[in-house]
Amino acid sequence: MSVSYGRRATSLRRAGTTRVLSGVDLTVRTGEILGIVGETGSGKTTLARATVGLVRPEAGSIGFEGTDLVRLTRRELREFRRTGSVQFMFQDPLRSQDPELTVRQTVAEPLAAVGALTRRERAERADEALALVGLDAEALGSRIPGQLSGGQRQRVSLARAIVTRPRLLLSDEPVSALDASNRNLVLSLLDRLRRELGLAVVVISHDLSSLAGIADRVAVLYRGRLVEQGPISEVLEHPRHPYTALLTASAPSVRREHRLLPAQLSPARSREPWPDDEGCVFAPRCRFAGPECRDEPRPAAVAEAGRSHSVACHHADRWRDLLG
Ligand SMILES: Nc1ncnc2c1ncn2[C@@H]1O[C@H](COP(=O)(O)OP(=O)(O)OP(=O)(O)O)[C@@H](O)[C@H]1O
Ligand code: SF4
Ligand SMILES: [Mg+2]
């Protein structure tokens, strides 16, 4: 899919649109956790927002159980969202929770749109969801978000996201604001829920190492492009795109040998989306760059038939030989 945002006119440029995601093609299956990693501004939240229908892609498709969500009319999309089959946990739980609603009301809120449930059934479903995330509904159900710890608040967000019994859950930076013990708790909850509820889960993170324990596969975004995707152990141990190798280098627990890499290939300073008509933005600093890298549109990191690991690089094999 490709996504653009409208932009206002400034003294330097006219009003128009900026493409912030380009040709991103991903699949997540039932019971699977797909990690999405990338630095700030790479388009992770935009990708999640587009998948749940909060922003409409300008090109591409979003297939969900045989329906292309991009082709739905506005009304059909609204109906689809009301079913709660796809849920989104926002990046900042404090801002996304109404400060005046109790925990039980917060968790039950999405059920109001689903309809056909009595008030009592909604309360029961909320308590069930709270129990699934390990929170005591009796003790915490009537508190407001301000009376919870950060870890508890994040678990309330998770309970709220699963209360509609979704089949796909997108979770935006679920652990970045948490300390180590809460981080492990939330990640292991996601891991358990995808197995127990048969959920397909997308976990967004700017930190590759936090995905290492739970994701099955990982997709690496760089300035709105997908540069590499594959099974997480393979991507961590044998990255083939230099940007992924840079990410593994800055996560010391992941792979020590790649720490030397930043000296050879410093990351680009710009965080602007990668322009559509530009060749590989790594070319000025890449030791394997040839004319094809500068001139030809870069190859897409789209999983080819029979290949689970794909890389958007003309010379991925040479990088693989170098990186080991
Ligand atoms: N509503 C919007 N209107 C215009 N541009 C936007 C909007 N939301 C995001 N952008 C731009 O789109 C790009 C991608 O933003 P996005 O929030 O998806 O990145 P991200 O990877 O989630 O970053 P972070 O790690 O900081 O959360 C950025 O250049 C950002 O400035
Ligand atoms: S080899 Fe070419 S395509 Fe690959 S990272 Fe280097 S410049 Fe980009
Ligand atoms: Mg974000």
Of 219, 244, 269, 206, nearest to 322 by C-alpha is: 244
Task: Give the pairing of strands 225-231 and 217-222.
Answer: antiparallel
pLDDT higher than threshold 70 for residue 298: no
Average pLDDT over residues 121-132: 95
Average pLDDT over residues 226-252: 85
Q: Residue 204 in 3-state DSSP?
A: strand
Neighbour order of strands in the sheet with 217-222: 86-89, 168-172, 200-205, 33-37, 217-222, 225-231, 310-311
Q: Which residue has the tokens 């897409």?
A: 300
Polymer length in residues for the chain: 324
Model pTM score:
0.91
- Cβ atoms of residues 105 and 160 within 8 Å: no
- Mean pLDDT across the chain: 86
Query: Is the Cβ atom of 38 under 6 angstroms away from ligand 1?
Result: yes
pLDDT higher than threshold 80 for residue 286: yes
Span 148-164, pLDDT tens digits: 998 999 999 999 999 99
Tell me, what's the pLDDT at 264?
56
Query: Is the Cβ atom of 268 under 6 angstroms away from ligand 2?
Result: no
C-alpha pair distances (Å), 208 with each of 201, 205, 277: 16, 7, 29
Span 87-103, pLDDT tens digits: 999 877 777 788 899 99
Of 99, 94, 190, 192, nearest to 150 by C-alpha is: 94
Query: What one-character DSSP code corresponds to residue 125?
Result: H
Contacts of 237 (CB under 8 A, 6+ apart): 255
Span 43-75, pLDDT tens digits: 999 999 999 888 989 888 889 999 999 999 999
Of 170, 141, 1, 167, nearest to 70 by C-alpha is: 1
pLDDT higher than threshold 80 for residue 247: yes
Which of 3, 17, 20 is the pocket-test mutation for ligand 1 (most atoms within 8 Å of CB)? Answer: 20
> Which residue has its alpha carbon closest to ligand 1 atom 5?
5
- Cβ atoms of residues 249 and 265 within 8 Å: no
Between 259 and 143, the higher pLDDT residue = 143
Contacts of 56 (CB under 8 A, 6+ apart): 50, 70
From the CA of 229, how far away is ligand 3's center (Å)? 19
Angstrom distance (rounded) from CA 222 to CA 21:
10
Q: How confident is the model at residue 261 (pLDDT cuts 50, 70, 90)?
A: low
Least confident of 13-27, 208-222, 301-315: 301-315
- Cβ atoms of residues 254 and 208 within 8 Å: yes
Average pLDDT over residues 73-86: 92
Average pLDDT over residues 125-129: 96
From the CA of 44, how far away is ligand 1's center (Å)? 8
Domains of the chain: 41-205 (3.40.50.300), 232-323 (no CATH)
Tell me, what's the pLDDT at 260?
53
Query: Is the Cβ atom of 46 under 6 angstroms away from ligand 1?
Result: yes
Span 262-284, pLDDT tens digits: 555 555 566 777 777 778 888 87
Query: Is the Cβ atom of 222 under 6 angstroms away from ligand 2?
Result: no
Tell me, what's the pLDDT at 262?
54
Q: How confident is the model at residue 171 (pLDDT cuts 50, 70, 90)?
A: very high
> Looking at the CA of 316, which ligand is closest?
2
For 240-292, the DSSP string reads -SHHHHHHHHT-TTT-SGGGGHHHHSPPPS--SPPPTT---TTGGG-TT--HH
Tell me, what's the pLDDT at 132?
96
pLDDT higher than threshold 60 for residue 256: no
Percentage above 90 pLDDT, the chain? 45
Angstrom distance (rounded) from CA 282 to CA 98:
43
Tell me, what's the pLDDT at 295?
80
- Cβ atoms of residues 50 and 62 within 8 Å: yes
Query: Is the Cβ atom of 155 under 6 angstroms away from ligand 2?
Result: no
Q: Residue 141 in 3-state DSSP?
A: coil
Query: Is the Cβ atom of 20 under 6 angstroms away from ligand 1?
Result: yes
> Looking at the CA of 293, which ligand is closest?
2
Q: How confident is the model at residue 300 (pLDDT cuts 50, 70, 90)?
A: low
Q: How confident is the model at residue 1 (pLDDT cuts 50, 70, 90)?
A: confident
Query: Is the Cβ atom of 246 under 6 angstroms away from ligand 2?
Result: no
User: N- to C-terminal Cα distance for the chain?
Assistant: 32
Which of 7, 45, 47 is the pocket-test mutation for ligand 1 (most atoms within 8 Å of CB)? Answer: 45
